[in-house]
Amino acid sequence: MNAANADKLAEVVSYVFHPLLVVIPTLVIAMVRLGSTLGQAIFWTVLSIAIVNVPMALLLFWGVRSGKYSDASVSVREQRTSIYAVGGACLVILLAVLIIGKAPVVIIACLISAVIATALGYWINRYTKLSLHSAAMAGCTAVLLWTAPMIGVIMAVFAPLVGWARIRLKHHTPVQILIGWMVSMICVFVVFQLML
């Protein structure tokens, strides 16, 4: 594979496994596997998209368009502070809505994991970037390994591909990929162990 094709593949992998996308089927599958109806799972997932994914997508779009962010991956570490602040606020709001609305325990556990991982990411970002793509991929893989092991194994196979893509596109170093994996997987496994 030549360099141009490798770069194109890396871009496709980064879009397909984008943090705002990979969580969508993960939430639906986890809720259905733990007893929710498909309708309930879709309802809570759509609500999650409205409260977190849509504002974050709009922030990214505005940030790139206005020049506040260098690119859609927010490759400059110092520019990521607002991503963590807005993302963290959206996650906390969603968590409150889920608790008040008596959402399924598994989605509440997912959100608690995400809030903790985001707080850790914010702190780590003072020193180095962590790969949000890898963090989302590893977190979703951990959730699926817990709730739908066969799908989790399939996701685990793709996690290194996502890491390769982020390194190939020069958005992250191998250490930043590993940090992303470790932070989110540890958060999911600890929270799930305590809650499920």
Question: Which amino acid, 44?
Answer: W
pLDDT digits 0-9 by tens, 153-188: 999 999 999 999 999 999 999 999 999 999 999 999
Residue appearing with tokens 């991929």: 137
DSSP string, the chain: --HHHHHHHHHHHHHHT-HHHHHHHHHHHHHHHTT--HHHHHHHHHHHIIIIIHHHHHHHHHHHHHTSSSSTT--SGGGGHHHHHHHHHHHHHHHHHHHHTT--HHHHHHHHHHHHHHHHHHHHTTTS---HHHHHHHHHHHHHHHH-HHHHHHHHHHHHHHHHHHHHTTS--HHHHHHHHHHHHHHHHHHHHHH-
Residue 133 in tokens:
């793509």
For tokens 């996308």, the residue is: 21
Q: Is the pLDDT of residue 51 over 90?
A: yes
pLDDT at 193 over 90: yes
pTM of the model: 0.94
- pLDDT, position 25: 98
Q: What is the pLDDT of residue 91?
A: 98
Tokens found for residue 95 = 């968590």
Q: What is the pLDDT of residue 179?
A: 97
